[in-house]
Structure formats: structure tokens, C-alpha cells
């Protein structure tokens, strides 16, 4: 092995197509982007994107303000306001970008079907800006699946806003029957070895606070059961909280890991004392950050490394398995 190959391989930057029986995929992710509050993370994120294969925006990407959710035109103006700056134009020019939305992209804070009826126009703006190129089973939503590494990795992009009902309503739901049915069927039929599930709110966090899935216990348990039964390694990527953490549980012998990365540029609100029994470290983040996921397969084994990265490029938290 020559010196150049050795160095590039050690750094994880060698082209995966040139390495026999080896796959390396690197993914970045983050949420809660309000650059009028802070922007000091952006140069670090931009530099990271030079070596990331894909970046996933996990919701609250634009923070609609002052009733901008009232029309398609005003929603698009907000997209242009947030992402039209040179810093974000540089970021969007690098890597491959995927996105899901959350309440601040869809409408007012904590909006659901009982409090907001303007999802159609903000959804159209979301689609026109992000241009999702994967199959979407429901034309009124964006949820769907895309793949990486020749089908070894599935990415499920879920819509946690368009079908949400109040947590205290009869048959309360976040994702709705049709989306849940699609997800279960697609997961069962998948031949992928790694499943990345992207959703706006936290799944594993056991604290019944804010908009965590713990407030919808029946639906949460259903999702966890499906992930524990699915072939391959399930990894959940979430945002929303303005604090980040890494969570893990084991169900039926299957490890399920969740990485929450939030915020990118919005103000940070740590939740160090939150009663979450699935967190794998002490405390949460208390500053702006983004996440990275490195998936490395040699022969039959996957080595997975998830990290939360701060403005200095340092790891706040890391979990390897």
C-alpha cells in the first residue's frame, strides 16, 4: 500500500468506489436555523461539508416570522432571506442536501391540524425550495425514502407536521395512519443494512416535555417495535430541542440510536437535568452545533460513529458502536 493511499484511508477520505469490500459514507445533520440570532457556526459547517457526502436539514430551517406562513409568496421570501446570504449560498453549493420540515417551516410555533390550516402553501414553498427528488407517496406531503451506497443505506424522511393532532385528542397521532402504514411496509420490504430515520422531534427521549414523541406513547412504542424488528441497524436523526444529545436503547436485542442536533444558529437552551433515561452521556449540549455520522463497512460489519460538533470543530459528544 503506498503512502498516499494510507493517509487518505486513515483520514476516511479515500473514495469508497476504489476500496474492495469497503463502504464509507459520511452524513452531516442539524436543525433550528435562525441566523439573525447567531452565525458563528457557519464557517465550521461549511468546512465540514467539503468532506461530507450528504447533509440533512432536520427542520426549523427558516423560522417563519410575522405571519409569513399566511401565503406562498411570503414563505418563499423567508427562504430567500435566510438562504440567500453568501454564507448559506456557499453551504448549499457543497455536498448533497436533503430536508424535512418542522413547525417553524410549516406555520406558527407548535402548529398542528387543530391550530393551523395553511400547510398547503408552506408545503409547496418547502418543495419548491428543497426540490426533493425521491418518490413521495402523498402529493400533499414530502415524506419518502432515498438510498445511499448502492442501496445499503436507506434514508426515511418523515413529515411530523402535516398529519399531527393534539396529544390529548382521541387517537392522537404525529405521523398519521397513511404515513405510518407506508413507513412500516417500506421498512419491512427494505433490503438495506442501515436505516436512517429523520424526524423533527425526538423519539427515544423519555421525558414527556415539549413535542417529544413520549407525549404520544402509543405511536412511540409502535415505531420502536417496528425498528427493533427491521433488518439492519436503525439510526434516528432528530432536532427541535435547541440542545443536542445522543440516546440509545435496546429492544429485542436490537440497538436503536438517536442523535439530536439542535441548534445550528438559533439560541441554545440546554436541558442538562431533563429526566431522559436513554441519554448515553451526562448533560446536553449548551451551544450551537451540528452532527456527523460516519458509516464504515468492512466485509459484513458496520462501524458507526456519531458525533456532535461545535464551532471549533471539536466533538461535544461521541458514540461509537
Mean pLDDT of 56-76: 97
C-alpha span between 113 and 161 (Å, rounded): 8
Q: In what helix (H) or strand (E) does residue 56 lie, and over which residues does it extend?
A: strand 54-58
Does 71 fall in a domain? Answer: yes
Q: What is the pLDDT of residue 21?
A: 76
C-alpha span between 306 and 26 (Å, rounded): 10
Does 91 fall in a domain? Answer: yes
At 219-229, the pLDDT tens digits run 999 999 999 99
The number of domains in the chain is 1
Q: In what helix (H) or strand (E) does residue 291 lie, and over which residues does it extend?
A: strand 290-298
Of 202, 207, 100, 214, which is closest to residue 161 (Cα–Cα)? 100
pTM: 0.93
Does 8 fall in a domain? Answer: no
Q: What is the pLDDT of residue 300?
A: 86
| 3 pLDDT more than 60 | no
Does 4 fall in a domain? Answer: no
C-alpha span between 111 and 161 (Å, rounded): 7
At 100-153, the pLDDT tens digits run 999 999 999 999 999 999 999 999 999 999 999 999 999 999 999 999 999 999
Q: What is the pLDDT of residue 20?
A: 53
Q: What is the pLDDT of residue 17?
A: 40
Q: What is the mean pLDDT of the chain?
A: 94
Does 9 fall in a domain? Answer: no
Q: Which of 16-25, 162-171, 279-288 has the lowest mean pLDDT?
A: 16-25
Q: What is the pLDDT of residue 286?
A: 98
- Domain holding 52, by residue range, is 21-320
User: What are the two backbone dihedrals, phi and then psi, of residue 299, each rounded to the nearest 5 degrees?
Assistant: 55, -115
Does 218 fall in a domain? Answer: yes
At 258-279, the pLDDT tens digits run 999 999 999 999 999 999 999 9
Mean pLDDT of 173-190: 98
- 228 near 256, Cβ under 8 Å? yes
Does 236 fall in a domain? Answer: yes
Q: What is the pLDDT of residue 11?
A: 37
Does 299 fall in a domain? Answer: yes
C-alpha span between 16 and 180 (Å, rounded): 34
DSSP 243: S
CATH number for position 139: 3.60.21.70
Mean pLDDT of 203-215: 98
CB-based contacts of 47, cutoff 8 Å, min separation 6 = 313
CB-based contacts of 252, cutoff 8 Å, min separation 6 = 228, 229
Amino acid at each position: 500500500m503506498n503512502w498516499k493511499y494510507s493517509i487518505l484511508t486513515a483520514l476516511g477520505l479515500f473514495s469508497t468506489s476504489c476500496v474492495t469490500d469497503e463502504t464509507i459514507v459520511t452524513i452531516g445533520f442539524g436543525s433550528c436555523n435562525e441566523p439573525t440570532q447567531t452565525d458563528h457556526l457557519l464557517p465550521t459547517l461549511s468546512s465540514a461539508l467539503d468532506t461530507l457526502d450528504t447533509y440533512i436539514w432536520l427542520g426549523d430551517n427558516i423560522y417563519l416570522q410575522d405571519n409569513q406562513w399566511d401565503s406562498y409568496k411570503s414563505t418563499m421570501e423567508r427562504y430567500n432571506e435566510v438562504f440567500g446570504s453568501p454564507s448559506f449560498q456557499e453551504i448549499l453549493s457543497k455536498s448533497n442536501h436533503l430536508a424535512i420540515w418542522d413547525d417553524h417551516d410549516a406555520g406558527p410555533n407548535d402548529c398542528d391540524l387543530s391550530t393551523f390550516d395553511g400547510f398547503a402553501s408552506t408545503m409547496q414553498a418547502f418543495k419548491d425550495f428543497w426540490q426533493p427528488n425521491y418518490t413521495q407517496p402523498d402529493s400533499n406531503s414530502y415524506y419518502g425514502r432515498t438510498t445511499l451506497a448502492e442501496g445499503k443505506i436507506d434514508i426515511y424522511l418523515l413529515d411530523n407536521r402535516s398529519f399531527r393532532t393534539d396529544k390529548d385528542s382521541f387517537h392522537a397521532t404525529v405521523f398519521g395512519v397513511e404515513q405510518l402504514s407506508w413507513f412500516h411496509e417500506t421498512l419491512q420490504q427494505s433490503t438495506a443494512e442501515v436505516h436512517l430515520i429523520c424526524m423533527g422531534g425526538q423519539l427515544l427521549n423519555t421525558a414527556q416535555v415539549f413535542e417529544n414523541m413520549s407525549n404520544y406513547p402509543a405511536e412511540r412504542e409502535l415505531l420502536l417495535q417496528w425498528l427493533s424488528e427491521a433488518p439492519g441497524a436503525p439510526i434516528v436523526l432528530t432536532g427541535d430541542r435547541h440542545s443536542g444529545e445522543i440516546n440509545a436503547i435496546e429492544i429485542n436485542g436490537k440497538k436503536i440510536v438517536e442523535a439530536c442536533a439542535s441548534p445550528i444558529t438559533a439560541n441554545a437552551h440546554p436541558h442538562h437535568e431533563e429526566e431522559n433515561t436513554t441519554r448515553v452521556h451526562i448533560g446536553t449540549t449548551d451551544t450551537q452545533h451540528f452532527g456527523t455520522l460516519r458509516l464504515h463497512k468492512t466485509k459484513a460489519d458496520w462501524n458507526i460513529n456519531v458525533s456532535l460538533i461545535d464551532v471549533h470543530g471539536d466533538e461535544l459528544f461521541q458514540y461509537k458502536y
